[in-house]
Structure 1
């Protein structure tokens, strides 16, 4: 079964004299192949150790492009944790203290409620910093492989 790629998701397209097409989609995905009237012909996936990951990614791509109902590859909670961890690292690299980061995330009133030295918010920001450092060092590969810690 083939289905049309929604034209509003195509940002750029080129077709050669030989009928081979290239198109860039709004989400940054590039599709290459023999296409007619936006009908996808197929997907070529290498048979390697990453086969299960590639197959799952191809399925998500199909559901996103064709059915427009793909589940996010990571949960909203996990996505928020990742965003906060990377924002924590950005703050630390800009010279912000854990207290300043906690104030930005949780507000000054909540930070002031308990003594900072033993604060659960301080511990949470420290864990976010450790997670952010791990993601920068090697964790992004796990995201690409479908392994979400």
Structure 2
């Protein structure tokens, strides 16, 4: 593997489970062999044609870069990672039965809630947006993350532009 980092391998009945990590980034792969090939020995990748191809090809490209090339830039900026974390936290809270207000309190804190929570507040719009985006990720939008498309998700309008808002 090029560059600093760590590599862990766990033999399983299906093959060798490999984790390649460099700082906060981590790549996970299943190698259908008992060991990784020596450097310079070709590694064969399998693609399932009954599944979406783009995420599989992107994963193969990431594996190639992780094993042989210079370290790529971070997949997500700090802002994008923080936004994705809030999206997933908002979705988890909603799926667990939390109200919109409880979800907002968990995400932004009691102080911000007391200052900014009212019927037409931007904070309320933001929480609704985070939940919509989370639901879109849950129903297949996560595939866009796998292939590097992390912009605004199709079908999910930004805060204040959704129906009834």
Q: TM-score, normalised by structure 1?
A: 0.68
Look up the SS of the partner of 1:28 in the other structure.
Answer: strand
In the alignment, structure 2 segments of 5+ residues that lack a partner are 20-26, 154-165
- Over residues 40-85 of structure 1, what are the superposed CA-to-partner deviations in whole Å (9 max), with x where a residue is unaligned? 4234465x7x777655433322222345723333333233222221
2:156 corresponds to which residue? none
In the alignment, structure 1 segments of 5+ residues that lack a partner are 15-21
Equivalent-residue separation in structure 2 for 1:96 and 1:90 (angstroms): 9
1:129-148 aligned within 5 A = 129-148=131-150
Does the C-alpha gap of structure 1 residues 66 and 10 become closer, same or farther in structure 2, counting only changes over 3 Å? Answer: farther
| Higher percent of residues as helix | 1
Equivalent-residue separation in structure 2 for 1:72 and 1:44 (angstroms): 24
1:1-149 aligned within 5 A = 9-13=7-11, 22-26=15-19, 27-32=27-32, 36-37=37-38, 40-44=41-45, 54-67=56-69, 69-148=71-150, 149=153
Q: TM-score, normalised by structure 2?
A: 0.63
Report the structure number with the largest CA radius of gyration.
1
- Over residues 89-144 of structure 1, what are the superposed CA-to-partner deviations in whole Å (9 max), with x where a residue is unaligned? 21112221222221222111111113421221111000011111111112022223
